[in-house]
Amino acid sequence: MITRLNKLIISLILVLAVSYLFYLNPDTITVKLGPTWSMNAPGAVVLISTFVAGFLFCSVFALIFGLKSLWRERGLEDRERRRNRSERQLLEARSALAAEEWQRARDLWESIVHKDESNIVARIELSKSLEGAGKLTDALKILDEARVIEPANTEVLFRAAELNLSMNNATAALDNVILILNNHPNLRAATMARDLAESLNRLEDALQYHSTVERLGAEGKEVNEARVRIEFKKIEIDLAQDENKLKDNLTKFTRRNSSFVPALHRLAHLESESGNTEEASKLLTQASKVSGDPAYWQEAAGLWLKNSQPNRAVAAGRAGTADAKGSNKIKSSLELIKLFLKINMLDEAKSELDGFDALLSREDVQPDRHISRTVLILRGRLQNALGNYQESAKIWEQLSDSNFKLERKIIKLDSARREMPPARLSTP
């Protein structure tokens, strides 16, 4: 009812307005629409016609712009709906990838790539799906397609390097990483390039990439060790055919890098081969002190035993054990006891075994099954060597009750005295 009333009121207002215009403009007006065409009409009609024409003209323009706005809005809404669908599909694809549902993930990523071939991220994720399914060659092809679109994309190149490494193609992986360094120098790429070049024995290149690593701000013990390691390998490879030059260069190298164990060990072998047992023993003992590994002083002790100098073997063992700490100290002490037993230094072996529990306490080491087993075996061997067979029998029984598996060579050593080293190897 109110709506009808409003329409009636508006109609009355319009009628009154038109009537008022006719009342105010009763005279006839000539309107020329061209050189020969004119029109005579009352002033009110001319005014109303002009107003209506202007209204219609503006309405047409408003309609045109309105339609454009409508089409644009509908286009935006359509793109928004597509984007929402793409996001849902993207999340679904990532979920499938996270769940290692390789085939489903592959189908979803391929669908996304089909809709937008320039989507680099989708291609990268598709390569991961293929890699997970074991199709490394296909995954690499997808990345090659991505590189056509964006040749310098860092993520694509890293993925290509990782895939090539999975395919044991370190050369191709290095090529990818070099491209990254050329376009986007970064610490990860420089480190990978260095390690890959080192694995390929391209040691000159490895040193150059290591310089890049240092230039990009890397520092610390690992960085320094990497340079020393590469320099050592380079010396070994470059001078492999000239033993004298190799020995001279390694001597200089170990003076600069006295804590690099592989160089000490290699130089010790060269000195030993040259008959310089004294220098070889020093180098091996130094390697043992630096690393805490008793294997090096054991090697030095072996050299002295071959030269019938058990006292020098013991000296090497004591020197290698003296500076060891923690579990290395325990391991080295056990090896020293074995050496005492081997050269029939029974009093020294007994002294070490008697103080072994105190040593464990000082080094704050809790004996594990291996240590406990080794100590019992050494006690049994000592008792056998001393002729205390009843005591040794108790120890073997204890080992058996503890379900320890005795090595045949140990049982044979303790039951057959003919394997004991000759008396000339014993110290007075």
Bridge partners of residue 32, in order along the sequence = 38
Which residue, chain included where needed, has tokens 């339609």?
A: 67
Cα gap 268→255, rounded to integer Å = 13
Residue 118 pLDDT exceeds 70: yes
Indicate the range of 50-54, 225-229, 243-247, 413-417 predicted with least confidence: 413-417
Cα gap 113→101, rounded to integer Å = 18
pLDDT bucket at 53, cuts 50 / 70 / 90: confident
Residue 361 pLDDT exceeds 80: yes
Cα gap 212→80, rounded to integer Å = 46
Bridge partners of residue 41, in order along the sequence = 29
Residue type for 409, please?
K
Which residue, chain included where needed, has tokens 């002295």?
A: 304
DSSP 421: P
SS3 392: helix
**Token duo for residue 230:** 């590469």
Q: CA neighbours within 13 Å on the CB side: how many for 191?
A: 11
| pTM exceeds 0.85 for this model | no
Q: What is the largest CA-CA distance in the chain?
A: 152
Residue 223 pLDDT exceeds 70: yes
Give pLDDT, residue 297.
93
SS3 9: helix
Residue 411 pLDDT exceeds 60: no
Cα gap 119→127, rounded to integer Å = 13
Give pLDDT, residue 43.
66
Asked if CATH classification 1.25.40 holds for the domain at 240-251+262-324, the reply, yes or no, is yes
- Share the mean pLDDT of the chain: 85
Give pLDDT, residue 22.
61
State pLDDT tens for residues 268-295. Answer: 999 999 899 999 999 999 999 999 899 9
pLDDT bucket at 23, cuts 50 / 70 / 90: low
pLDDT bucket at 144, cuts 50 / 70 / 90: very high
Contact 238, 207 (CB under 8 A): no
Q: Which of 208, 190, 127 is nearest to 162 (CA)?
A: 127
SS3 39: strand
Cα gap 82→98, rounded to integer Å = 24
pLDDT mean over 147-165: 93
Cα gap 301→35, rounded to integer Å = 128
Under 8 Å CB-to-CB from 265, ≥6 apart: which residues? 283, 284, 287, 296
* Sign of the alpha-carbon dihedral angle for 129, 134, 139, 141: negative
Indicate the range of 39-43, 253-257, 316-320, 328-332 predicted with least confidence: 39-43
Give pLDDT, residue 415.
42
Residue 417 pLDDT exceeds 90: no
pLDDT mean over 106-129: 90
Q: What percent of the chain has pLDDT over 90?
A: 54
Element (H, E) at 40: strand 38-42
Indicate the range of 160-174, 307-321, 412-426 predicted with least confidence: 412-426
| 3 state SS for 113-144 | HHHCCCCHHHHHHHHHHHHHCCCHHHHHHHHH
Q: Of the CATH numbers 1.10.3420, 1.25.40, 1.10.1060, 1.10.3470, which one belongs to the domain with range 161-238?
A: 1.25.40
Cα gap 192→415, rounded to integer Å = 56
Please identify, in words, the CATH class of the domain defined by 80-150.
mainly alpha
Bridge partners of residue 29, in order along the sequence = 41
Cα gap 44→136, rounded to integer Å = 86
Contact 131, 163 (CB under 8 A): yes
Q: Which of 211, 205, 201, 260 is nearest to 236 (CA)?
A: 201
